[in-house]
């Protein structure tokens, strides 16, 4: 083994060092020399997401009907507290607003968490990784004109699972991962893209989503019950329902909203409870991956065969970390490799870099993050135009998506090395993508307006959810 050669090298004695500008030091001289302020990773994130509060909050580019969801919840709850609570407190018990308040807060918090949390986005492969995988694929492929196979088979718990190659993210998707066309990201344990919360539901935010719909069903049922009781009490003594409604018009609105929502939301909660108990995702259930429709004896390889353990593993498992490191700084090494390094390394920086290096690359980024350099907080609504090749298949994706991804593939391959650097390259890429996209039909623009409701469970209740919840708007 060769050693000692490396330990005795004196950094000053070596020929021209590769200019690697450090992310930053909090040192004023460095700041003045550096033409651009150090950028965080969210600013160059290639997916279709929006970031707020300097990368702390992440939402999908298309917020879907999240404002509507929020509006409905706030309006209904507001009307409940204004019109129904005073009467019910007087005639029944003061627990009612308390319970209502707790449920309302729960619903709101879990909704915001579902919407603003990274669902489990997988960062795209680095150029080196992508090249390595391409090399492996080419080695195993044949020499005929037919393109080499882009699937890999693995054996999980005695079950054969096919892993597909994602052309956009340039990697073989892990099991249960799917590429969301609306967000243009691969999401781990992809459940569905929910327009109601304006975000994908995946590994990291499924528990928030589940808690949201369960508490929302409780809240809706509770408000529905209270309003009915309220109107019934008012209509007592032969006064009639019309009189009661005239006295409390807000209750009429609540009644309509709750009546139409409660069935669909209860249905959705029931469906997701079934999914949780059998450790399935909506995506798998709809595609029938483990239902054995092909006649083979297939079982869900991820299920623990025990309802309690399944529930615990989905809802109570340790919270996985976000893999995209939104607030990390762009590493200096990668900027140098992509040729964007345009400053010389001052000797002062070399010295401090020695101290910083001991912590490793991640530590470098963390220590950089602690520096008081950074600029704006909450640059509101900064949209990311990085890879605006609009994936045009509807939200229930993967298979149609890969077809469209292929169309954009050439474009992505040529500029993939720019992922972590320049806005200039980003804009050029997005222009190229837009030109290609023009040739692709675009049904996706209908999606936010009349959501195809990726929540669409195979039963009719969810369909009425879509139809029913829109009815009060008329």
Which residues of this protein are in contact with other proteins, per CB under 8 A? 1-11, 14, 17-18, 20, 105-106, 109-110, 113, 122-123, 125-126, 128-129, 132, 154-157, 161, 163, 171, 174-176, 188-189, 207-208, 211, 301-302, 309, 312-313, 315-321, 323-325, 333, 353-354, 357-363
Q: What's the CA gap between 461 and 456, in Å, rounded?
A: 9
> Measured from the CB atom, is 86 or 363 closer to other proteins?
363
> Measured from the CB atom, is 60 or 121 closer to other proteins?
121
**Token duo for residue 69:** 């969801």
> Measured from the CB atom, is 102 or 428 closer to other proteins?
102
Q: Is residue 226 flagged as an active site residue?
A: no
> Measured from the CB atom, is 173 or 234 closer to other proteins?
173
Q: How far is the CB of 364 from other proteins (least distance, A)?
A: 10
CB of 411 within 8 A of CB of 432? yes
Q: What's the CA gap between 280 and 296, in Å, rounded?
A: 18
Catalytic residue among 169, 194, 389, 408: 194
Q: How far is the CB of 354 from other proteins (least distance, A)?
A: 6
Q: How far is the CB of 340 from other proteins (least distance, A)?
A: 17
**Token duo for residue 226:** 């209270």
> Measured from the CB atom, is 82 or 131 closer to other proteins?
131
Burial class (CB in 10 A: 0-12, 13-18, 19+), 198: buried
Q: What's the CA gap between 247 and 227, in Å, rounded?
A: 13
CB of 275 within 8 A of CB of 459? no
> Measured from the CB atom, is 63 or 322 closer to other proteins?
322
Q: How far is the CB of 426 from other proteins (least distance, A)?
A: 20
Q: How many CB atoms lie within 10 A of CB 144?
A: 7
Q: How far is the CB of 233 from other proteins (least distance, A)?
A: 32
Q: How far is the CB of 81 from other proteins (least distance, A)?
A: 19
Catalytic center residues:
194
């Amino acid at each position: 083994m060769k050693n000692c050669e490396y330990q005795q090298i004196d950094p000053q004695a070596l020929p021209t060092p590769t200019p690697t500008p450090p992310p930053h030091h909090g040192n004023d001289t460095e700041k003045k020399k550096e033409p651009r302020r150090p950028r965080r990773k969210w600013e160059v994130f290639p997916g279709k997401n929006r970031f707020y509060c300097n990368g702390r909050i992440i939402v999908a580019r298309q917020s879907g009907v999240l404002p509507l969801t929020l509006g409905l919840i706030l309006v209904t709850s507001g009307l409940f507290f204004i019109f129904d609570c005073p009467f019910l407190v007087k005639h029944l018990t003061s627990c009612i607003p308390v319970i209502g308040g707790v449920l309302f807060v729960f619903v709101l918090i879990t909704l915001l968490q579902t919407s603003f949390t990274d669902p489990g986005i997988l960062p795209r492969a680095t150029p080196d990784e992508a090249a390595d995988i391409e090399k492996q694929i080419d080695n195993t492929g044949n020499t005929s004109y037919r393109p080499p196979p882009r699937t890999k088979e693995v054996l999980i718990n005695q079950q054969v699972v096919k892993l597909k190659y994602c052309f956009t993210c340039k990697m073989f998707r892990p099991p249960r991962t799917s590429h969301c066309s609306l967000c243009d990201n691969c999401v781990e344990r992809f459940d569905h893209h929910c327009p109601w919360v304006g975000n994908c539901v995946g590994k990291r935010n499924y528990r928030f989503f589940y808690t949201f719909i369960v508490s929302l069903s409780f809240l809706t049922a509770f408000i529905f019950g209270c309003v009915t009781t309220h109107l019934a009490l008012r209509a007592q003594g032969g006064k009639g329902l019309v009189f009661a409604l005239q006295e409390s018009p807000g209750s009429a609105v609540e009644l309509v909203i709750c009546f139409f929502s409660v069935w669909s939301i209860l249905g959705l909660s029931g469906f997701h409870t079934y999914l949780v108990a059998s450790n399935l995702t909506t995506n798998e259930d709809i595609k029938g991956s483990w239902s054995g429709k092909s006649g083979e004896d297939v079982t869900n390889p991820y299920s623990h065969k025990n309802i309690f353990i399944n529930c615990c593993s989905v809802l109570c498992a340790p919270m996985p970390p976000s893999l995209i490191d939104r607030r990390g700084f762009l590493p200096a090494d990668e900027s140098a490799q992509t040729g964007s390094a345009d400053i010389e390394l001052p000797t002062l920086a070399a010295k401090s870099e020695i101290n910083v290096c001991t912590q490793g690359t991640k530590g470098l980024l963390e220590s950089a993050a602690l520096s008081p350099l950074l600029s704006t907080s909450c640059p509101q609504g900064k949209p990311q135009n990085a890879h605006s090749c609009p994936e045009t298949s509807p939200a229930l994706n993967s298979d149609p998506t890969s077809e469209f991804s292929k169309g954009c593939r050439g474009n992505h391959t040529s500029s993939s090395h720019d992922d972590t650097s320049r806005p200039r390259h980003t804009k050029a890429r997005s222009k190229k993508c837009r030109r290609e996209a023009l040739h692709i039909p675009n049904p996706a623009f209908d999606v936010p307006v009349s959501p195809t409701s990726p929540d669409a469970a195979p039963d009719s209740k969810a369909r009425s959810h879509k139809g029913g919840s829109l009815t009060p708007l008329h």
